[in-house]
Amino acid sequence: MKISKIYSNHKDFKNITFNLKGLNVIYADVKSTLSEKKNSHALGKTKLTHLIDFLLLKEVNKTSFLISHKSKFINHTFYLELYLNSSQYLTIKRTVQANTKISFKLQDQTTNNYTPPTNWDYKDIPIKTSKTILSKFLSFDFFHNKQYTYRKSINYSLRTQDDFKDVYKLNKFTGGRDINWKPFMFDLLGFNGELLRLKYDNDAKIEEIKALIGSYKMDYGVNVQERDEIIAEKSILENEYKDVETQIDKFNFYNQDKK
């Protein structure tokens, strides 16, 4: 799969056609003077990755620039054209205003002059269902029989500057649980990530059991030493009970009555 085009219905958006046979670079030719404080930063490189992520069906909230500046993008409709491994072109339509409704169109040819399709194969589909549809279109073998989808790999492809601090662990996972990223990375490196996931699940269950035992100790005020004393006392009582029971069984009421 390759990104073929990104375009919009809004005239102020600079439509983009990607080179499918080579490398694509965002290049800045800075012509301003140093005193103008303009340079190759703040060109929108990161914003472009966020837009691609949005069009690959990331669920957004107010932290997204499209939502935090919704008044500026309220009338924008964005289109992402993908060149699939099947040699077909898939167009994904997503608006900012109704960003949970997605449309798809599969075509044998690329669109001309950034003109979006008029008839959609899937129209205004809820985002959760749309992710499943897109997964089927992408048809990546790697994600078959996995507990995650293509979305898991998106951030590894669309890295921010902070994501390069650790090759394997993205910045978003800092301070989080290893189970959220290590099993995926294990799979990606050719190992069985499911084994690692099960290991983390078992670790979590062990901690839950330990916490439950701790709560019982707090509730009933029983420590290890007291528990052992209770068990010993219980054993003594059981032995005494057995002795009494044996003596009763040995006592013959019939013979005593004959005397």
- pLDDT tens column, 162-204: 888 888 888 888 878 888 889 999 898 889 889 988 998 888 8
Taking Cα atoms as reference points, which of 183, 187, 182 lies closest to residue 166?
A: 182
Instruction: Please give the average per-residue pLDDT across 141-152, as a whole number.
Output: 87
> What is the secondary structure of 122-139 as a DSSP string?
EEEEEHHHHHHHHHHHH-
More reliable by pLDDT, 110 or 222: 110
Residue 40 clears pLDDT 60, i.e. is over it: no
| Contacts for 48 with CB less than 8 Å, ≥ 6 apart | 6, 26
- Residue 148 tokens, joined: 């995650």
CB neighbours of residue 13 within 10 Å: 16
**Neighbouring C-alpha atoms within 13 Å toward the C-beta of 148:** 18
Residue-averaged pLDDT of the chain: 85
SS3 content of the chain, % helix, strand, coil (to 5): 45, 15, 40
More reliable by pLDDT, 154 or 91: 91
The answer to whether residues 49 and 158 touch, using CB atoms and an 8 Å cutoff, is yes
Q: What predicted TM-score, i.e. pTM, was given to this entire model?
A: 0.74
Q: What is the pLDDT of residues 226-257, one digit of tens each?
A: 777 777 877 887 777 677 667 656 654 444 44
Residue 155 clears pLDDT 70, i.e. is over it: yes
What's the DSSP call for residue 110? Answer: P
Instruction: Determine how β-strand 89-95 pairs with β-strand 77-83.
Output: antiparallel
Tell me, what's the pLDDT at 221?
A: 65
